[in-house]
């Protein structure tokens, strides 16, 4: 089965002050940004904005991430960058954010140079942005680790998959037939809470709609479905053709509704089913 990779926006951060006064540093930071992109491509489909030094750059990057359907955005401070340049952009684009606190060298040794300092001081920006986001009540994730360290890479990979899951949840439609089970409260939440907390939209499907869809199913399609069942499954000989026919018809009706309503999930309360409304049985075969 093909598994789609998460789609992740990746933006390297720096500062206009450096861009004006240290143009050679920009070239070096872009090289590191490309190295990070290669690492991230092992875990996600990457939408890359190599280097953003101003709010205008950041706006362009996030506009592109949003336009291309990124599940989340990874920010890496390639050098120091000011938090208040990025804050307005993050407020306009409420995408999941990971700040990956990493750098080009793994340790500071006795031969640490001024050039090393220029290329490895993004931590200042991490502190700045994290403090501001925390104060503003904006959710974010933070991972600290050398970019070639397998443990750090695994943490980033898990975050990418989590962002993909969050993104998928925010786009799904859940169909509900039969309402809620009376007095069952263990995993019951109000639909508004579900939508606000996770993102799914809840659509109640009436028994009238299900009964109508059942009547619209063609007999030849039911027979084809029954024949396919017999090819795919071991079926008890005690199963009556009429029972199989009713269940196959209801399955096809469910599929019709799922297509029409663009459903990604379905919840059914069996206790509410009533043959008098035109739905003969609980659609267990379809489920």
Domain ranges for the chain, please list them: 7-169, 173-277
> What is the torsional sign of CA 85, 141, 12, 6?
negative
Q: DSSP class of residue 7?
A: E
Of residues 176, 181, 268, 251, the one with CA closest to residue 213: 251
pLDDT digits (tens, 9 = 90+) for 23-55: 889 999 999 999 999 999 999 999 999 999 999
Continuous H helices in 12-82: 16-21, 23-40, 55-67
pLDDT value at residue 169 = 87
Question: In the chain, what is the greatest distance between 2 CA atoms, to the nearest angstrom?
Answer: 84
pLDDT value at residue 187 = 65
pLDDT value at residue 194 = 75
Burial 4-27 (b: 16+ CB within 10 A, else e): eebbbbbbbbbbbebbeebeebbe
pLDDT tens for each residue of the chain, 287 residues long: 466 899 999 999 999 998 888 888 999 999 999 999 999 999 999 999 999 999 999 999 999 999 999 999 999 999 999 999 999 999 999 999 999 999 999 999 999 988 888 888 889 999 999 999 999 999 999 999 999 999 999 999 999 999 999 998 888 898 888 877 777 777 677 777 777 777 788 888 888 888 899 999 999 999 999 999 999 999 998 989 999 999 999 999 999 999 999 999 888 887 777 777 778 788 888 88
CATH class of the structural domain 7-169: alpha beta
pLDDT value at residue 222 = 95
> What is the torsional sign of CA 273, 277, 280, 284?
negative
Name the token pair of 134. 């925390």
Which residues, other chains included, contact 6 with Cβ-Cβ below 8 Å and sequence gap of 6+?
43, 44, 45, 71, 72, 160, 161, 163, 164
Q: Which residues pair with 72 in a beta bridge?
A: 8
The CATH label, of 3.20.20.70, 1.10.530.10, 3.40.50.2030, 3.40.275.10, for the domain at 173-277 is 3.40.275.10
**Matching fold, domains 7-169 and 173-277:** no
**Alpha-carbon dihedral 129, 135, 138, 140, rounded to 10 degrees:** 50
Q: DSSP class of residue 106?
A: S
- 254, 210 contact by CB (below 8 A): yes
Phi, psi values for residue 254, rounded to 5°? -60, -45
């Amino acid at each position: 089965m093909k598994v789609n990779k998460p789609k992740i926006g990746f933006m390297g951060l720096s500062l206009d002050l450096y861009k004006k006064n240290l143009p050679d540093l920009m070239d070096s930071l872009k090289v590191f940004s490309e190295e990070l992109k290669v690492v991230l491509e092992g875990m996600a489909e990457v939408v890359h904005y190599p280097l953003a030094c101003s709010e205008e750059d950041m706006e362009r990057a996030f506009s592109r991430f949003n336009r291309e359907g990124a599940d989340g955005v990874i920010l890496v401070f390639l050098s120091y960058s000011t938090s208040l340049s990025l804050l307005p952009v993050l407020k306009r684009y409420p995408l999941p954010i990971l700040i990956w606190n990493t750098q080009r060298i793994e340790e500071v040794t006795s031969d640490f140079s001024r050039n090393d300092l220029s290329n490895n001081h993004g931590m200042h920006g991490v502190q700045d942005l994290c403090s501001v986001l925390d104060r503003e009540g904006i959710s974010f994730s933070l991972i600290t680790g050398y970019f070639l360290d397998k443990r750090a890479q695994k943490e980033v990979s898990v975050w990418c998959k989590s962002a993909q899951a969050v993104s998928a949840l925010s786009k799904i439609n859940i169909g509900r037939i039969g309402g809620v089970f009376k007095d069952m409260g263990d995993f019951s939440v109000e639909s508004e809470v579900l939508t606000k907390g996770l993102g799914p939209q809840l659509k109640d499907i009436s028994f009238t709609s299900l009964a109508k869809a059942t009547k619209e199913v063609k007999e030849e399609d039911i027979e084809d479905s029954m024949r396919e069942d017999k090819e795919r499954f071991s079926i008890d000989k005690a199963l009556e053709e009429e029972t199989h026919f009713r269940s196959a018809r209801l399955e096809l009706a469910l599929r019709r509704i799922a297509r029409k309503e663009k459903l990604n999930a379905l919840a059914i309360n069996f206790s509410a089913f009533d043959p008098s409304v035109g739905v003969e049985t609980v659609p267990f075969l379809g489920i």
